[in-house]
Amino acid sequence: MTAWLPGDRSSHAGRRAYEAVVERLVASYRSLPEDAPVRLAKKTSNLFRHRARTGAPGLDVSGLGGVISIDPEARTADVGGMCTYEDLVDATLAHGLMPLVVPQLKTITLGGAVTGLGIESSSFRNGLPHESVLEMDILTGAGEVLTAAPTGPHADLFHGFPNSYGTLGYATRLRITLEPVEPFVELRHVRFPELDSLQDAIADISEHHTFQGELVDFLDGVMFSATESYLVLGRWTSEPGPVSDYTGAGIFYRSIQHDQIDTPAVDRLRARDYLWRWDTDWFWCSRAFGAQHPVLRRAWPGRWRRSSVYWKLLALDNKIGLSDRLDARRGEAPRERVVQDIEVPVEHTADFLRWFLSHVPIEPVWLCPLRLRGSSAEGTGPQVDHPWPLYPLHRDRTYVNIGFWSAVPTNPANEQGHANRMIEAEVSRLDGHKSLYSDSYYDRTEFEELYGGDSYRQLKQRYDPNTRLLDLYAKAVRNQ
């Protein structure tokens, strides 16, 4: 971690270090030939799109990987755009604080979560990560570093930056709001035997932040089947007691399951362990690498049980095609990758899940409700119905993010991406949206209708007039 400045000292040194990094970055950007593609040089990624390889060097943003300063009294942090949430959380927890939303994988960067969206179990009360941003410095396609805020000369860039995926520019610094933490998170795992009651509970808890008279600070869930779903209700507590640790033999998503319909199972985690409860096994995707087998798990070093390692293993498999060769040797058809997060209005959650169970053979799936934050004082800007034009969720609606990450058998008679295309169509039918971090198959007309076409074109013209950066459709759908 490049911690430019601990929060209990003057921020001047951190600011000077940041400005020196940005000066080098701008000089590097402007030294590129005008026809050269512009990309970031990154060692990690949480995208699942195949990208065209250009061979061109990327911009070195490694100097932006730290926390610039923390103001415990104002509950804010200035953070480099390439700072990972793992490093950010460690820095803020030292002050008894955390970001309002901490995406579930450690190597997600703050800048990445803002330009590419992020979500977690506090999103039903805190919205999405970009809604806690107070201001940000953005290196635009024109090679300028501009400070964008909810109001002012670059308010359009501030509101258009989320879901732009680096096609308008790159965040070099972000000032975000923090919130206080307690030492522990107490969990209740509530089982639902059918999907309609699950949907009703999500809607009620998201609106009132309580369940059976108890406060709910965190809310997500897992669907294993049509008759076995769970909501995981978390609340902050300072009360001491036994705590669980799922970085060893235990597996968090398996700990959720129990047989009691009317009696929740209970658990308790330390604050940091709760925030990273999904990272150890990449939700449940570590099973694809054998990491959940009891024998292999004991032999697998704990420091390697993390999402960044599984991601590298997956990237290696994609590169050498080992899984495809093994499937072919067994006489099995090639498999289609279905790695997606979608959002549908809460009232359509049960309908989508029933459709999904009958069309896509993947289980379990993750459930995470969200509501946009409510006022300009909370950092969301003007009071408009959908303040973030490139991902236009409505302010007054509860949505449920549904995540599923696996692969399904293919049929030679179907077109490429058959399962993903079906999912896109169903999500659109239910007035939902799909995140763009993975494979997409929209035609340009539908894509622009869903992802702020007119607003995006205006932003592109103003902040990247010479199209030095990729177009969003080209990047998200054509994988350029």
Instruction: Fill in the DSSP letter of residue 294.
Output: H
E strand or H helix that includes residue 68: strand 67-71
pLDDT at 8: 37
In the numeric block, which tokens belong to residue 320? 């050498």
Our measurement of the distance from residue 196's CA atom to the centroid of its chain's CA atoms, rounded to an integer in Å, reads 26
Q: Tokens 């969200």 correspond to what residue?
A: 370
In terms of Cα–Cα distance, which of 394, 398, 373 is closest to 385? 394
Specify the pairing of strand 365-370 against strand 335-345.
unpaired
In the numeric block, which tokens belong to residue 130? 């970009």
Sign of CA dihedral 438, 385, 234, 79: positive
| Distance between CA atoms of residues 30 and 347, nearest Å | 49
- pLDDT tens sequence across 4-55: 443 434 467 778 889 888 998 888 888 888 877 777 766 655 555 555 555 5
Our measurement of the distance from residue 55's CA atom to the centroid of its chain's CA atoms, rounded to an integer in Å, reads 28
| Distance between CA atoms of residues 174 and 200, nearest Å | 36
pLDDT at 93: 98
Q: What is the dihedral of CA 480, 159, 174, 177, to 10 degrees?
A: -130
What's the whole-model pTM score?
0.91
Instruction: Fill in the DSSP letter of residue 474.
Output: H
pLDDT in tens, the chain (480 residues): 344 443 434 467 778 889 888 998 888 888 888 877 777 766 655 555 555 555 556 777 778 999 999 999 999 999 999 999 999 999 999 999 999 999 999 999 999 999 999 999 999 999 999 999 999 999 999 999 999 999 999 999 999 999 999 999 999 999 999 999 999 999 999 999 999 999 999 999 999 999 999 999 999 999 999 999 999 999 999 998 999 999 999 999 999 999 998 899 999 999 999 999 999 999 999 998 999 999 999 999 999 999 999 888 888 887 887 777 777 788 777 889 999 999 999 999 999 999 999 999 999 999 999 999 974 434 444 456 779 999 999 988 999 999 999 999 999 899 999 999 999 999 999 999 999 999 999 999 999 999 999 999 999 999 999 999 999 999 999 986
pLDDT at 381: 46
Q: What is the dihedral of CA 267, 93, 399, 224, to 10 degrees?
A: -30
Partner residues linked to 345 by β-bridges: 399
CATH 3.40.190.80 is held by the domain 12-180: no
Domain ranges for the chain, please list them. 12-180
In terms of Cα–Cα distance, which of 371, 429, 439 is closest to 404? 439
The SS3 call for residue 109 is strand
